[in-house]
Structure 1
Amino acid sequence: MLAVQHTNDAGIPDKMWQPPFVQFDTTMGEFIIELYWKHAPQTCRNFAELARRGYYNNTVFHRIIRDFMIQGGDPTGTGKGGLSIYGPTFKDEIHPELKHSGAGILSMANSGPDTNGSQFFITLAPTQWLDGKHAIFGRIHQGMNVIKRIGLVETDRNDRPMMTLKRNLPLVVILGSTGSGKTKLSLELAQRFDGEIIGADSMQIYKSLDISTAKATPEEQSVAPHHLIDILDPHETYTVTQYRNRALRVIQDVLDRNKLPIVVGGTNYYIEALLWKILVDNDEFVTTPGILPHNEHELPSEELHQKLKELDPKMANRLHPNNKRKILRALEIIYDKGKKVSDILAEQQSAQDASPSGGGLRFTNAIVLWLQCSQDILDDRLNKRVDSMVEQGLVNELLDFHHKYNLGSQPDYTKGIFQAIGFKEFHCYLMLSKEQQASDEGKEELAKAVEQLKLVTRRYAKKQKKWVTNRFLGRSDREVPPVYGLDTSDISKFEDNVTKIAEEIVTSYIEMKPCPHEPLPKISSRSIPNSLHETYTCSTCDRVFVGQLQWEAHLKSSRHRKRAAKKKSATPTS
């Protein structure tokens, strides 16, 4: 807003140079000052030129008095420094028409008559007793909300702020199905807002398999600092609690350095652990390694479920008999803590802010950007993405990893990075010898694996979409952050449909202004399944369902009705 102008030998601008506005970018947001050139030309020229020279850069509001004023403009930060463009001081320009009649008035600070230098103050309320003592030369044109926020900062007995003023930074969470453009948007927001990216993907947290886990490339990672990517060895186990604790420290560090934290999600329970104070999940509890009897991990899922039913019937009734991982976690907790998991969860839910789905929000200013895409377009995009991964060397990456970690052994696809999409699908091909892989049979097996990977990837994308809908938009029993939908269907319009809108949303939260875009509305749902819903067993179809919604959908299905009718017709009557 301050155009280049001519100055005389003393460095004083030409009188024709009269910029109407001066913009200040502070760590709490920006505000714009309108200058009163007609009433106080010398004072306005001094202020505008000091701003143009960068004299006010990195200075602080060193004196803050609530409901009175904020004072700044001293490069020493002491309240005793600062020079004018005319020399140490210059004379007052007090105009009888200008009064300290309300908040947002800009005046010169001084130590007495005609002692103006570089310091100024902005009023937070009417201060009529200052009329005739301080030169008024402008007002807040835009950003009064920022001035008010600065005026609320805690101060010491000398009216000095007790903390470094920081931007009002939200926690930005980017969600979306795999292949929806999360990495692209995160990089653009990080560049725009001086942000840092925190990964929330349970597979990308492991070293290796960069192609199969779709990590940001080294070139992309060089655009902005990335956290919680490539930090674990493949065989390491990592609970959601460990992730949450580490990620929260990273987020706090990013905020402390006045950077924007951008969480990029791929793993549902990682996101929930960060956003809500209580995550009601077996993974929440840390147990002693090796607490289970040595052979218990090898038992069939049904036997483990029966054992859990004997020890904790309520918990067993919440878990599907085939969900071996969660059943084992529940047994570990019981053995280690000496308490039923259902009792521990009940204690958690009785805590303040708790609900059946978890506790209150951990970050009151979190915002969720949900990248959405038409399913047909996304399916086609994912198929092409898998083909691209194969072209980039996916098969060789899996082969190299298999030879390094699995040769001669059966991989456990429930642990570590072996849970990643790709391993199970390529298992049969990976177990072949080099000669077999090169044969027609091997090539056919590889083609099957690629098609299976496409199928699993499409299914996973639908699962991610369903999770966001259920856990964020379909919940009436807990507080949720605002969720903004961004349409990524047309990749050629990503800049207009996604990036620009996301930037406007984030900017509004940083500057504490009304958001120009509406969040997605809540979805009215009578029942949405979660980890606390009971299981239902259909004796007619010999199947188990988790949650009332799945159960009722099954009862209405044509398959169930046909079997029930057939069974009824086959039942003898008296």
Structure 2
Amino acid sequence: MLRKVPLIVILGSTGTGKTKLSLELAERFGGEIISADSMQVYANLDIATAKATKEEQSRARHHLLDVATPNEPFTVVSFRNAALPIIENLLAQNKCPIVVGGTNYYIESLLWDMLVSPKDPNEMEDGIDNQFDISNTVNIAGKGEERTFGSDNVKDPLFLPQSEMSAMSSELLHNHLRKIDPQSANRIHPNNKRKIMRAIEVYQQTGETLTAKLQAQRQQPGGNRLGGPLRYPHTILFWLRCKQDVLNVRLDKRVDAMLEQGLLAEIRAFHNEHNGDKSQTDNSAAYTRGVLQTIGFKEFIPYLEQFNAANDQKIEEYLRLNAYKMPTEEHFKAQKPSSINVTAVQKHTQQQNIDERQSQQPPQQSTIDREIELELEAATHSDTTTTSSPLPAGLEVLNACLNELKRVTQRYSKKQIKWINNRFLASKDRQVPDLYELDTSDVNLWQAEVYERAVAVIESHRRGEVCEIQAMARRQHPGAGLNEETSNFCEICQRHFIGEYQWQLHLKSNKHKKRRESNKKKEKASGISVDTNKEDKKS
């Protein structure tokens, strides 16, 4: 007898093949795909956010694509509230829900119960979401009073209006948080203004400190410091992995392909519709919210603000004629005015040298004359190559934006790997479903190493049998057992560190040791005796 249909979750860095596997599993098991990507929920920017194509979407039903616009907020709570009914409905029909992400904190909001609902987060940490729904009135637990936000009649002397908090420095806010919630102040870095404000808002909106909420969460059955209990016990996690050097090449090619697919026209239309007046209002914060800060759009802001759509057409024409290959760095350098002047000077100098040599040659030395003619011809040809076909204006800026996108994409892929390691494998006290690693480095081995292994895991689970493919082993985090709610300040390096693990790593680092030795030498030379063993202050 088959067991209950599992919830399938596909994790992995950008470019590892999550879309491909989700389609294959949906077709094999009659499932439907739920996109867990914080940017693909927004309409448009299909190329920039690497959405499943229309052809791919026709192969299996997709949920939570194009369900929001940049003008409306769509948070992790919006996602969770939309995704959970879809999952429940599919499970009730004995259909297999396949969650594909992208955005790991979206996936966490489905797998585990979270205690606090965010208003507009960019990430979730410690099992608590970043910002919280604000109601007009809040009943402060234990104080028995109603308080209206934004009014002048505020009895609690620790209350700070949102506008006042935004204007305060991180240092002042951190000192204020220490009065409300000392434990959270120890846990949050003094420079992290966003998290400090979040902790203050928790108290102001609920009457409870963030620390109290975390403690309540940990006391739940199955709860721990990262979240509440597991929501769906029948869950299978697939982690698609790829060797980093192979993935980097794959990601670079993916960016180049986006340009040929029409990325420039897409981001231009999006910019004109949603952010065309940004430069006039100088509202730089507009680029830090929602889809406007997605990887694949914000990297092109320097180009979009300097050049217009007419310039885009010239660049598109140039790229089509050159098979969408960008010029080399040497070509870009040759197009700069300073480089062109140098080339002209070099040609003039070459001509002078040739004329001088010609005047010194006897008439009978025809071989040398021919060499001189060839040298002049080569110089002329070289100059024509670099100056006869000028590059379109803005092409070098666009190329720099593309290179930045490649760099950011590679960096984000590493961040995704770190997140999965820390949140799914290095938390032995957390209820985590079995996590299966699938290597996608060699696309020629996809059928055997990825698809067939995933199918074997799912079928074994449904039959209630032990699968021959082993789930990944859980590991102990190297900082397990250390106090992570302490604040340390290194007087030598003038830096704050949160938690004993990070503090111990810093004290053992070469950078810290070199700076400490350098300080000792300076103190010895100046004749000043300073206790260099006093390296920190603990809060």
Output the TM-score relative to the length of structure 1. Answer: 0.66
2:445 is aligned to: 493
2:226 is aligned to: 357
What is the distance in 2 between the residues matched to 1:300 and 1:398? 35
CA RMSD of aligned residues (A): 2.7
Contact 1:239 1:283 in 2 (8 A): no
1:566 is aligned to: 518
Instruction: Determine whether 1:312 maps to 2:148.
Output: no
Aligned match for 1:182, one of 12, 15, 18:
18
Say which SS state the counterpart of residue 252 (structure 2) adopts.
Answer: helix
- Residues 544 and 390 (structure 1), Cα distance of their counterparts in 2 relative to 1, 3 Å cut: farther
Residue correspondence of structure 1 range 60-459 to structure 2 within 5 A: 168-278=4-114, 280-283=127-130, 285-288=132-135, 292-294=161-163, 296-297=165-166, 299=168, 301-409=170-278, 410-411=283-284, 412-434=286-308, 442-459=394-411
What is the distance in 2 between the residues matched to 1:531 and 1:256? 44
Superimposed CA distance per residue, residues 370-390 of structure 1 (whole angstroms, 9 cap, x where no aligned partner): 101111111111111111112
Judge which range, 417-426 or 439-448, deviates more.
439-448
What is the distance in 1 between the residues matched to 2:253 and 2:499? 35
Bigger Rg over Cα: 1
- Residues 493 and 402 (structure 1), Cα distance of their counterparts in 2 relative to 1, 3 Å cut: same
Say which SS state the counterpart of residue 413 (structure 1) adopts.
Answer: helix
* Moved >6 Å (runs of 4+): 435-441, 528-532
2:464 is aligned to: 512
Superimposed CA distance per residue, residues 13-55 of structure 1 (whole angstroms, 9 cap, x where no aligned partner): xxxxxxxxxxxxxxx53xxxxxxxxxxxxxxxxxxxxxxxxxx
Judge which range, 339-348 or 249-258, deviates more.
339-348
User: Shift in Å at residue 529 of structure 1?
Assistant: 12
What is the distance in 2 between the residues matched to 1:356 and 1:538? 27
- Residues 376 and 340 (structure 1), Cα distance of their counterparts in 2 relative to 1, 3 Å cut: same
Kindly indicate which of the two structures has a greater share of residues assigned to helix: 2
Say which SS state the counterpart of residue 367 (structure 1) adopts.
Answer: strand
Superimposed CA distance per residue, residues 185-227 of structure 1 (whole angstroms, 9 cap, x where no aligned partner): 0000000000011111111122221111111111111111111
User: Shift in Å at residue 536 of structure 1?
Assistant: 4.1
> Unaligned stretches of 5+ in structure 2?
116-126, 137-148, 151-160, 316-390, 531-539
User: Shift in Å at residue 526 of structure 1?
Assistant: 2.6
Contact 2:484 2:498 in 1 (8 A): no
What number of residue pairs does the alignment pair up?
A: 410
User: Shift in Å at residue 170 of structure 1?
Assistant: 0.8
Superimposed CA distance per residue, residues 504-534 of structure 1 (whole angstroms, 9 cap, x where no aligned partner): 1111112222212110112232327999755
Superimposed CA distance per residue, residues 336-369 of structure 1 (whole angstroms, 9 cap, x where no aligned partner): 2233222222222222222222222211111111
User: Shift in Å at residue 326 of structure 1?
Assistant: 3.1
Instruction: Determine whether 1:521 maps to 2:473.
Output: yes
Superimposed CA distance per residue, residues 146-202 of structure 1 (whole angstroms, 9 cap, x where no aligned partner): xxxxxxxxxxxxxxxxxxxxx621111100111000000000000000001111111
Instruction: Determine whether 1:538 maps to 2:494.
Output: no
Say which SS state the counterpart of residue 163 (structure 2) adopts.
Answer: coil
Contact 1:198 1:262 in 2 (8 A): yes
Say which SS state the counterpart of residue 173 (structure 1) adopts.
Answer: strand
- Residues 187 and 524 (structure 1), Cα distance of their counterparts in 2 relative to 1, 3 Å cut: same
- Residues 445 and 216 (structure 1), Cα distance of their counterparts in 2 relative to 1, 3 Å cut: same
Contact 2:128 2:227 in 1 (8 A): no
What is the distance in 2 between the residues matched to 1:481 and 1:449? 40
2:332 is aligned to: none
Contact 2:184 2:485 in 1 (8 A): no
Residue 506 of structure 1 aligns with an amino acid whose one-letter code is: I
- Residues 202 and 339 (structure 1), Cα distance of their counterparts in 2 relative to 1, 3 Å cut: same
Residue 543 of structure 1 aligns with an amino acid whose one-letter code is: R
- Residues 208 and 561 (structure 1), Cα distance of their counterparts in 2 relative to 1, 3 Å cut: same
Say which SS state the counterpart of residue 187 (structure 2) adopts.
Answer: coil
Superimposed CA distance per residue, residues 85-133 of structure 1 (whole angstroms, 9 cap, x where no aligned partner): xxxxxxxxxxxxxxxxxxxxxxxxxxxxxxxxxxxxxxxxxxxxxxxxx
Say which SS state the counterpart of residue 244 (structure 1) adopts.
Answer: helix
Say which SS state the counterpart of residue 32 (structure 2) adopts.
Answer: strand
- Residues 236 and 328 (structure 1), Cα distance of their counterparts in 2 relative to 1, 3 Å cut: farther
Contact 2:484 2:501 in 1 (8 A): no
What is the distance in 1 between the residues matched to 2:178 and 2:72? 30
What is the distance in 2 between the residues matched to 1:453 and 1:530? 38
1:52 is aligned to: none
Say which SS state the counterpart of residue 287 (structure 2) adopts.
Answer: coil
What is the distance in 1 between the residues matched to 2:491 and 2:91? 54
What is the distance in 2 between the residues matched to 1:403 and 1:392? 19
Contact 1:305 1:327 in 2 (8 A): yes
Superimposed CA distance per residue, residues 274-330 of structure 1 (whole angstroms, 9 cap, x where no aligned partner): 112236223374333897533544555555444434433322332334444433333
Output the TM-score relative to the length of structure 2. Answer: 0.70
1:481 is aligned to: 433
What is the distance in 2 between the residues matched to 1:369 and 1:487? 10
- Residues 310 and 236 (structure 1), Cα distance of their counterparts in 2 relative to 1, 3 Å cut: farther
User: Shift in Å at residue 440 of structure 1?
Assistant: 6.6
Say which SS state the counterpart of residue 277 (structure 2) adopts.
Answer: coil
What is the distance in 1 between the residues matched to 2:489 and 2:300? 33
Residue 551 of structure 1 aligns with an amino acid whose one-letter code is: W
Residue 293 of structure 1 aligns with an amino acid whose one-letter code is: Q
- Residues 534 and 259 (structure 1), Cα distance of their counterparts in 2 relative to 1, 3 Å cut: farther
What is the distance in 1 between the residues matched to 2:494 and 2:398? 34
Say which SS state the counterpart of residue 41 (structure 2) adopts.
Answer: coil
What is the distance in 1 between the residues matched to 2:264 and 2:203? 41
Identity %: 46
Residue 417 of structure 1 aligns with an amino acid whose one-letter code is: V
- Residues 210 and 276 (structure 1), Cα distance of their counterparts in 2 relative to 1, 3 Å cut: same
Contact 1:529 1:546 in 2 (8 A): no
Say which SS state the counterpart of residue 168 (structure 1) adopts.
Answer: coil
